Structure 1
Amino acid sequence: MDKLITYVAAIHGLSGPVSIVSHTTSHDRWTDDDVEVTRDETEYRFDNGAIVRRSVEQDRAPSDLLCAECWIDYDVLRHPDAQPIGPTRMTFDNACRETFWLRYHLA
């Protein structure tokens, strides 16, 4: 089984056993209770046939937090032939947690 961390590392520009061959990004924006919300989704295609989507949703509400709340999701859309990726979904509620997870699993 391949680990999702391998693909997330490549998405963040780190070298490893897989490489991104292409990506497509979509942007969406709306207002919810007078707060502007944005969502960016990027589908990454890898050299082994895998496809992983990274979604980032955040609002423009004022925040005093050092690491403002946002929603970051990774979803495996296609596994390489005969090689499942696990976990198939990972979710974070801010960029600091995503960074910690990445560093922890790559140490």
Structure 2
Amino acid sequence: MDRLVTYVGVIHGLPGPVSIVEQSVARERWLDQGFEVQRECTDYRFDNGVHLRRVVEQDQFPSELACAECWISYEVIGHAPCCQVSPAGKSFDNACREAFWLKYHLA
């Protein structure tokens, strides 16, 4: 069983046992109650056949928080016969939580 955190680490440029062989990005923007919202959806294919999707959505609403709210999610789109990834998905409500999760589980 492969850990999702391993793949997320590679997406963030950390060394790992797999490599990204293909990625595609789709971006969109819209207004919500007068504030611009941006959504970026990136699909990653790895050399072992695993396919992950990372979605980041954030708005331009003024915030005084040290780590502004945004929505980050990872979803396993496809497994290779050799590699079952667990968990199949993970979500965060800001980049600081994502960074902490990554650091904690890769320590």
| Structure-1-length-normalised TM-score | 0.98
Q: Aligned partners of 1:82, 1:47: CA distance in 2, in Å?
A: 12
Task: Give CA-to-partner distance per residue, 1:38-92, whole Å, 9 cap, x none.
Answer: 0001000000000000100000000000000000000000011142100001000
Equivalent position SS for 2:105: helix
Give the AA of the match of 2:75. Answer: D
Instruction: State the number of aligned residues.
Output: 107
- C-alpha RMSD over aligned residues: 0.6
- Identity of counterpart residues, as a percentage? 58
Matched, 1:4 2:30: no
| Structure-2-length-normalised TM-score | 0.98
Q: Aligned partners of 1:44, 1:11: CA distance in 2, in Å?
A: 8
Provide structure 1 residue ranges, at least 5 long, that are not aligned to the other structure. none
Moved over 4 A (4+): none
